[in-house]
Chain A
Amino acid sequence: MQKIGVFVCWCGSNIAATVDVKAVANAMRSEPGVVFSTDYQYMCSENGQNLIKDAIRDYKLDGIVVCSCSPRMHEATFRKTAMAAGLNPYMVEIANIREQCSWIHKDMPEGTEKAMVLARAAIAKVKKNAPLTAGTSPVTKRALVIGGGIAGIQTALDVADAGYEVDIVEKSPTIGGRMAQLDKTFPTLDCAACILTPKMVEANQHEKINLITYSELENVSGFVGNFTARIRKKARHVDEKKCTGCGVCTEKCPSRKGLNEFNMGLNTRGAIYIPFAQAIPNLAVIDTSNCIHFKTGKCGICEKNCSAGAIKFDQEDEIIERKYGAIVVATGFKPIDASYFDEYAYTQSKDVVTSLEFERLMNAAGPSKGVLVRPSDGEHPHDITFIQCVGSRCSHDATKGKEYCSKICCMYTAKHAMLVREKYPDVNVHVFYIDVRTPGKNFDEFYRRAVEQYDVDYIKGMVGKVTVEGKKLHVQGSSLLSNDQLHIYSDMVVLATAIEPDPTARSIGTMLTASMDTNDFFTEAHPKLRPVESPTAGIFLSGVCQGPKDIPETVAQAGAAASKVIGLLSKNELVGNPCVAHANELLCNGCSQCERVCPYGAITYVEKEVRGPEFRGVKRVAQVNEAVCQGCGACTVTCPSTAMDLKGFSNNQIIAEVDAICR
């Protein structure tokens, strides 16, 4: 027979005014299993806690019920009290007779009666409690950052500065990401490369940071503190240790068919190439799909010209497998494919470009060396039309586009317009907009400067279509304020295309069991209070992979994610929540339904030797990783055989409470 102790708190007059606490304590004394029952003015006070401790020792209690305020208030307190007296802290139940009884009922008999029912329910539950011990797991003191853009670089730098090892895995041959492709940054108009490249260099030289470029994540297993990642380091066909980045090979390469990714395909590059002048690591890479040697077995000019002897045609992919304590997702974005919006003639004319392409056209390191020319004929444009919100803010039932606002387009379009007018005052610039959204420090001032100082022609309305007429682009749009349909003959049209998560994000999200929204942006653990964490423990979010944002916001989030990673890695071991799910292997059907509803990927299935009275042999059974399980209980209801149960809120505990309440 269990020995239960009941402790009824007065909470001064908070409870005692409407609940006859002595009557409750007396009544509980006659409940089966209760060997001790008393009341006290303030159970949470030191004297009150001592009273509990003494009773636990004197009566050898193996479970206690405290009738007091909400468990959200003092459950932790009384658990510590029990522990101090040698009782397992999970053998404590709280009957909430303050918030859910004395404070809402005015009538003493009514309040007292309800308090008794609540106390009986808690007694019924505690009798079914089992001592629980929180598991611990060690923390691997190394972080993995997925993506080497500004978000990933900043997170890595901050984590590394705190003294922890960080690996950055980047799918392209260089770090730098989208920011490296930008010409100037709003609203200060400082050059993107000037502020980014020092960070790239710092990351490269940091003794705690290891860059794994031209590599892709293949698989992630494990859980918070103990992830194992398998990374495929693709063959560059260039020996990283020997290549000096001199660039001779890239000049000598006779193949000129590869589209220059860095310049958004606006020009070509050699089959062996260095993405751009300040690439980090500064190493050449062979694009085998365009390399004559790989296609015909001949050529080999790069090999002949490499004085360092770095060319290795027979280099193979390398698999890196390493353990990490935390993973940061910084997979970034890409502009949507503008060809979906062919009313703007994107596929019909080279002179219709996306904003990121325009960024390259304006850049001194771009295909036209920073001289703004029409891509079609290299002539100087005299009239440029910008169209905002291309693919953003579309309704969910529209035929194409994204539902969200891409956030950065208003500002970069103002920037483009301003830069064009600054450099080439003879060019007319029109901007079609739906709304100009400029919340941000110095943002609206910036936009107003474009209008007032640079005389950019902002037109409220949308372009309906763009048609190619000779060398001109006929832009037909509405001007809502003048209630006119405008016909503008431009030399170039620039589309402020919406941005979307990088296409690799979805598969990475699946690998990490990190949840994503319908747009493939990663979901945060809480939209307000935990904005840089994924609901999956140990996974953190940095930059646009979580939602559209500009550079300062990305850097801020990167730092925030880093601080969360540092907080995690600074622990030697993680103490889990013992109220987690547990599978009874004898009852488990192996049906995988629980695995499907687990939001944390905490359930895996294994083939296991099981021995029971009715079954012996190998069978497929569910296994709960207690370090990952958060204890929601979704799996328990999915399980038809009740093989899956939740510690601390077991089926039997809840049924006992139901029975006691309905008695």
Chain B
Amino acid sequence: MSNNITTEDILRISGVDTRKCMFCGKCSGTCPAFDEMEYHPHQFVYMVQWGMIDKLMESKSIYKCLTCFACLERCPRNVQPAKLIEAVRQAVIRQQGMNHMTENDIPGLLEDKLPQQAIVSAMRKYKK
């Protein structure tokens, strides 16, 4: 299947410049979820740069990322692989029309204990 998502889309969503990457592999060296992944953080960068977006979107790897930001923290080139992964996840969600609710449904579901961050990201997600 073709998702029509391009490299440019991912770069725009993430704000990442993949050309800055020198493929040192420090992100993959630092990733705590490395063993769970089919594609690893440095491969994300490579695959986005070379347009292998479909493969990434279909891979379970993107959901294995814990968003711990260790790769982002340690990257010597400030490439920010974690943002790239997040962008691919977003692209999947936007693409498939998988939203089963709208942002108007959110207020009704709010609970006191919900973390602020979750509410904000829910608003972001369902507003698309």
Please give the residue numbers on chain A whose beta carbons come within 8 Å of chain B beta carbons, in ascending order. Answer: 343, 389, 393-395, 397-399, 401, 432, 434, 460-465, 476-480, 483, 485-486
Measured CB to CB, the nearest residue on chain A to B77 is A395
Contact B30 A464 (CB under 8 A): yes
| A480 to B75 alpha-carbon distance, docked (Å) | 15
Ranked nearest first, the 10 interchain pairs of A and B with the lowest CB-CB distance are A464-B30, A464-B29, A462-B26, A478-B28, A461-B25, A478-B29, A478-B25, A477-B29, A485-B34, A434-B24
Contact A461 B20 (CB under 8 A): no
Smallest beta-carbon distance A662→chain B, Å: 48
| A464 to B40 alpha-carbon distance, docked (Å) | 13
| A465 to B27 alpha-carbon distance, docked (Å) | 10
Smallest beta-carbon distance B84→chain A, Å: 15
Contact B28 A393 (CB under 8 A): no
Give me 11 A-to-B residue pairs in the complex whose CB atoms sit less than 8 angstroms apart, sorted by A's number.
A389-B76, A393-B24, A401-B76, A434-B23, A464-B30, A478-B25, A478-B34, A479-B25, A480-B28, A485-B28, A485-B31
Known A394-B77, A401-B76: A480·B30 in contact at CB below 8 Å: no
In the complex, chain B residues 14-57 whose Cβ is within 8 Å of any chain A Cβ: 20, 22-31, 34-35, 40, 42-43
Please name all residues of chain A whose beta carbon is closer than 8 Å to the beta carbon of B26 when the two chains form the complex: 462-464, 478
Please name all residues of chain A whose beta carbon is closer than 8 Å to the beta carbon of B78 when the two chains form the complex: 394-395, 397-399
Smallest beta-carbon distance B86→chain A, Å: 19
Please name all residues of chain B whose beta carbon is closer than 8 Å to the beta carbon of A393 when the two chains form the complex: 22, 24, 76-77
Instruction: Bin the interface of chain B by size.
Output: 20 to 34
Q: Flag whether B58 is at the interface (Cβ < 8 A).
A: no
Q: A461-B24, A463-B29 are in contact. List 11 more A-B contacts (CB 8 A).
A: A397-B78, A434-B23, A461-B25, A462-B26, A462-B29, A464-B26, A478-B28, A480-B25, A480-B42, A485-B28, A486-B29
Contact B74 A464 (CB under 8 A): yes
Known A480-B23, A483-B40, A485-B35: A465·B77 in contact at CB below 8 Å: no
| A137 to B70 alpha-carbon distance, docked (Å) | 61
Q: Flag whether B8 is at the interface (Cβ < 8 A).
A: no
Please name all residues of chain B whose beta carbon is closer than 8 Å to the beta carbon of A460 when the two chains form the complex: 25
| A504 to B70 alpha-carbon distance, docked (Å) | 35
Contact A461 B29 (CB under 8 A): yes
Smallest beta-carbon distance B88→chain A, Å: 19
Smallest beta-carbon distance A240→chain B, Å: 47
Please name all residues of chain A whose beta carbon is closer than 8 Å to the beta carbon of B43 when the two chains form the complex: 483
| A479 to B76 alpha-carbon distance, docked (Å) | 17
| A463 to B73 alpha-carbon distance, docked (Å) | 14
Known A389-B76, A398-B75, A480-B42: A461·B28 in contact at CB below 8 Å: yes
Measured CB to CB, the nearest residue on chain A to B71 is A464
Contact A343 B74 (CB under 8 A): yes
Contact B76 A394 (CB under 8 A): yes
Please give the residue numbers on chain B whose beta carbons come within 8 Å of chain A beta carbons, in ascending order. Answer: 20, 22-31, 34-35, 40, 42-43, 70, 73-79
Q: Is the interface of B mostly helix, strand, loop or mixed?
A: helix
Known A398-B76, A478-B42: A465·B28 in contact at CB below 8 Å: no
Smallest beta-carbon distance B28→chain A, Å: 4
| A463 to B27 alpha-carbon distance, docked (Å) | 9
| A479 to B42 alpha-carbon distance, docked (Å) | 11
| A262 to B55 alpha-carbon distance, docked (Å) | 55
Please name all residues of chain B whose beta carbon is closer than 8 Å to the beta carbon of A485 when the two chains form the complex: 28-29, 31, 34-35, 40
Smallest beta-carbon distance B47→chain A, Å: 13
Please name all residues of chain A whose beta carbon is closer than 8 Å to the beta carbon of B42 when the two chains form the complex: 478, 480
Measured CB to CB, the nearest residue on chain A to B27 is A464
Contact A476 B22 (CB under 8 A): no
Smallest beta-carbon distance A485→chain B, Å: 4
| A476 to B34 alpha-carbon distance, docked (Å) | 11
Known A480-B25, A483-B40: A465·B30 in contact at CB below 8 Å: yes
| A478 to B32 alpha-carbon distance, docked (Å) | 12
Please name all residues of chain B whose beta carbon is closer than 8 Å to the beta carbon of A395 when the two chains form the complex: 20, 76-79
Measured CB to CB, the nearest residue on chain A to B73 is A399
Please name all residues of chain B whose beta carbon is closer than 8 Å to the beta carbon of A398 when the two chains form the complex: 75-78
Please name all residues of chain B whose beta carbon is closer than 8 Å to the beta carbon of A432 when the two chains form the complex: 29
Measured CB to CB, the nearest residue on chain B to A401 is B76
| A477 to B27 alpha-carbon distance, docked (Å) | 9
Interface centre among A434, A461, A464, A477 (most CB of B within 10 A): A464
Measured CB to CB, the nearest residue on chain B to A344 is B74
Smallest beta-carbon distance A426→chain B, Å: 27
Please name all residues of chain B whose beta carbon is closer than 8 Å to the beta carbon of A464 when the two chains form the complex: 26-31, 70, 74
Measured CB to CB, the nearest residue on chain B to A396 is B78
Please name all residues of chain A whose beta carbon is closer than 8 Å to the beta carbon of B75 when the two chains form the complex: 398
Smallest beta-carbon distance B96→chain A, Å: 29
Contact A389 B30 (CB under 8 A): no
Contact A434 B28 (CB under 8 A): no
Please name all residues of chain B whose beta carbon is closer than 8 Å to the beta carbon of A463 when the two chains form the complex: 26, 29
Please name all residues of chain A whose beta carbon is closer than 8 Å to the beta carbon of B29 when the two chains form the complex: 432, 461-465, 476-478, 485-486
| A457 to B75 alpha-carbon distance, docked (Å) | 24
| A432 to B42 alpha-carbon distance, docked (Å) | 16
Contact among A397, A476, A479 with B30 in the assembled complex (CB-CB below 8 Å) = A476
Please name all residues of chain A whose beta carbon is closer than 8 Å to the beta carbon of B22 when the two chains form the complex: 393, 434
